[in-house]
């Protein structure tokens, strides 16, 4: 390998790296990446050497070091593919800028990473901004179509903390997010009336029309035990917070019985953006719905009262992905 010929200023570092008690690897990783990005590494041979060296250094680098490399390479169209793929599959704190911006990653790469690495990676991909497509079309490139279901399922099978992270990461970066404006007051009034009457099916039908969903998808949102899905729908419709509070207490009685839970959901409503809610609503609109089994149905729920009869699809269970959700932690 011609590393010392390509990077003569690293010769002393390479020598020192052989001595016990001196760890020059973080410095070496930083310097060779800076040299690559500054295009002082130009030949095909030099790029191959950089790739081999960087992959070895990344394997032993701490998270801060890996994050720095990811940040430096995330928007570089000439970044080595093997290095980008390694970073994209790393901890989400490392992978996020690469998943959001790297032009090296293909649609197939993104779909595979979303499926293999789980919820946080899928959320970062959903917020992906392809600068080339944005400059040519005036808006960001959409989330890869084949991965819509992955992100929707990631949301519905996640716990409360994971869902918050997914929603915070979503932004107005897909063509789905340009969907509906603020709902008219009469739409909000009908939703509240159905909720106060404990009319779950009626509420789902109003939601179906308001967000242009399938009835099965609307029903899945209403039946979601955590309540976060209703919060997202309410934010997309720009529902007044107090109206949302009343709806949660009546349409999800188990939520209304917990002051802490109502407070947590109210906080989520304030923390997420309308754009993020519209993006998720757009993904619900285009994804194939897989309704989840309701764990608990209080006796006071009367699905067909007051809105006419309609057959309500019986939900089926959807297994939770085996991949664990990587949380952001301090290194």
Question: 315 or 237: whose pLDDT is higher?
Answer: 237
Higher-confidence residue of 330 and 59: namely 59
Is residue 44's pLDDT more than 80? no
For the stretch 96-127, what's the b/e string if a residue is b when 16 or more beta carbons lie within 10 angstroms of its beta carbon?
Answer: bbbbbbbbbbeeebbbbbbbebbbbbbbbbbb
Task: Give the integer Cα–Cα distance in Å for 111 and 106.
Answer: 9
State the residue for tokens 């890869």. Answer: 144
**How many other CB atoms sit within 10 Å of the CB of residue 302?**
13
Kindly report the length of the chain. 331
Predicted TM-score (pTM) of this structure: 0.52
Q: Which residue has the higher pLDDT, 11 or 326?
A: 11
Q: pLDDT at position 17, please?
A: 54
Name the region of 39 (left: φ>0; alpha: ψ -120 to 50; beta: rest). Answer: left
pLDDT at 274 over 50: yes
Q: Residue 242: what pLDDT?
A: 93
Query: Contact, 143 vs 100, CB < 8 A?
Result: no
Band the pLDDT of 114: cuts 50, 70, 90.
confident
| Residue 326 CB neighbour total at 10 angstroms | 19
Residue 21's CB: how many other CB atoms inside 10 A?
4
Mean pLDDT rounded to a whole number for the chain: 75
pLDDT surpassing 50 at residue 160: yes
Instruction: Summarize pLDDT for 186-238 with one digit per residue, the tens.
Output: 999 999 999 999 999 999 999 999 999 999 999 999 999 899 999 999 999 99
As a whole-number percent, the residues of the chain with pLDDT over 90 amount to: 34
**How far is the C-alpha of 202 from the C-alpha of 199, rounded, in Å?**
5
How confident is the model over 281-294, as pLDDT tens digits? 988 988 775 544 44
């Amino acid at each position: 390998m011609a590393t010392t010929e390509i990077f003569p200023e690293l010769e002393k570092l390479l020598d020192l790296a052989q001595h016990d008690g001196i760890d020059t690897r973080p410095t070496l990783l930083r310097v060779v990446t800076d040299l690559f990005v500054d295009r002082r590494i130009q030949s095909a041979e030099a790029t191959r050497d950089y790739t081999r060296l960087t992959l070895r250094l990344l394997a032993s680098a701490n998270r801060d070091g890996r994050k720095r490399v990811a940040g430096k390479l995330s928007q570089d169209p000439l970044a080595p593919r093997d290095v980008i793929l390694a970073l994209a599959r790393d901890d989400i704190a490392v992978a996020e800028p690469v998943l959001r911006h790297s032009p090296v990653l293909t649609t197939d790469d993104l779909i595979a990473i979303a499926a293999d690495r789980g919820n946080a990676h899928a959320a970062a991909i959903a917020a992906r901004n392809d600068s080339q497509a944005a400059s040519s079309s005036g808006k960001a490139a959409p989330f890869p179509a084949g991965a819509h279901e992955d992100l929707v399922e990631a949301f519905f099978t996640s716990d409360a903390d994971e869902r918050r992270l997914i929603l915070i990461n979503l932004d107005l970066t897909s063509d789905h997010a340009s969907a509906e404006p603020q709902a008219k007051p009469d739409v909000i009034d009908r939703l509240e009336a159905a909720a106060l009457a404990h009319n779950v099916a009626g509420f789902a039908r109003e939601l179906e029309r308001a967000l242009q969903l399938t009835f099965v998808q609307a029903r899945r949102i209403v039946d979601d035990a955590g309540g976060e899905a209703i919060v997202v729908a309410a934010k997309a419709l720009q529902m007044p917070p107090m109206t949302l509070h009343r709806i949660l207490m009546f349409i999800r009685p188990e939520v209304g019985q917990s002051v802490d839970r109502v407070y947590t959901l109210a906080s989520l409503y304030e923390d997420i953006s309308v754009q993020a809610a519209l993006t998720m609503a757009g993904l619900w609109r285009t994804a194939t719905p897989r309704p989840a089994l309701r764990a608990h149905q209080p006796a006071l729920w009367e699905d067909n009262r007051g809105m006419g009869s309609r057959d309500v699809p019986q939900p089926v269970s959807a297994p939770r992905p085996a991949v664990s959700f990587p949380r952001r932690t301090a290194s």
